């Protein structure tokens, strides 16, 4: 109807009416585009809120597993082994095995399929990529560790405890001492990942645009420490 009136006004050379009708068309198109943009923005914000909630849940779940289950169990187990060894006993090497799957879910792969790049600032994307990449790497280390446990410790645990010790019985054989050392290292890596996950969860909850990544904000999880994680100081076999 508007276009018909506009054409009629042009034939009549009614320029004022032409201007008004043209203005109405332009405003109508503009408002339609704006409403569409607003709807898309609201949908994007709602999608981002759902993804943030899922991310925070995943990060906090990982932290709970580390801080409330894995790390306390490892520390208690190592302490019990050390106490028994100091009493002159020859306990089998302490090992740690998790219930269920030995590896965490591949969360980052799922997030990439959801195309989250445009939803977060570059620092947050960098942090999430680095965190989940490091989580995957630490998980692979655990697989190597637990494979040794299942192949070289569990089959002999019920037998002669002297199997795990040197001929004079004063120290664990090198491969079993190394296995416990790897567990101590893994405990330290899990602790660092827990602090990292907490930092990410807090920033996602706050919805801020950080100036630095969680990786650089915490000196204990610097790039250098991720490349060469120091082993926590613990007593060694005499």
Domain boundaries, the chain: 44-227
Tens of pLDDT along 138-165?
888 999 999 999 999 999 999 998 999 9
Indicate if the pLDDT at residue 42 is higher than 70: yes
Q: Which residue has the higher pLDDT, 225 or 140?
A: 140
Average pLDDT value for the chain: 79
Tens of pLDDT along 66-106?
888 889 999 999 999 999 999 999 999 999 998 777 676 77
- Residue 236 is predicted with a pLDDT of 44
- Residue 64 is predicted with a pLDDT of 87
Q: SS3 string of the chain?
A: CHHHHHHHHHHCCCHHHHHHHHHHHHHHHHHHHHHHHHHHHHHHHHHHHHHHHHHHHHHHHHHHHHHHHHHHHHHHHHHHHHHHHHCCCCCCCCCCCCCCCCCCCCHHHHHHHCCCHHHCCHHHHHHHHHHHHHHHHHHHHHHHHHHHHHHHHHHHCCCCHHHHECCCCCCECHHHHHHHHHHHHHHHHHHHHHHHHHHHHHHHHHCCCCCCCHHHHCHHHCHHHHHCCCCCCCCCCC
- Residue 113 is predicted with a pLDDT of 75
């Amino acid at each position: 109807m508007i276009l018909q009136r506009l054409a009629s006004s042009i034939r009549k050379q009614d320029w004022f009416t032409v201007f008004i009708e043209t203005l109405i068309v332009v405003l109508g198109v503009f408002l339609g585009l704006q409403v569409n943009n607003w709807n898309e923005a609201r949908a994007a914000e709602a999608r981002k809120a759902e993804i943030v909630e899922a991310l925070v849940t995943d990060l906090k779940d990982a932290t709970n597993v580390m801080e409330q289950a894995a790390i306390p169990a490892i520390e208690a187990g190592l302490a019990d082994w050390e106490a028994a060894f100091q009493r002159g006993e020859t306990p089998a090497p302490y090992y740690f095995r998790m219930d269920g799957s030995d590896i965490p879910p591949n969360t980052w792969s799922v997030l990439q399929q959801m195309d989250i790049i445009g939803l977060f600032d570059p620092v947050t994307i960098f942090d999430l990529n680095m965190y989940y990449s490091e989580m995957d790497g630490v998980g692979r280390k655990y697989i190597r560790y637990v494979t040794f446990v299942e192949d070289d410790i569990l089959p002999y645990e019920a037998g002669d405890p002297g199997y795990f010790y040197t001929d004079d019985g004063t120290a664990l054989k090198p491969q079993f001492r190394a296995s416990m050392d790897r567990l101590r290292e893994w405990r330290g890596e899990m602790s660092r990942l827990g602090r990292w996950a907490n930092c990410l969860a807090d920033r996602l909850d706050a919805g801020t645009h950080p100036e630095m990544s969680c990786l650089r904000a915490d000196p204990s999880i610097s790039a250098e420490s991720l490349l060469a994680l120091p082993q926590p100081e613990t007593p060694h076999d005499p």
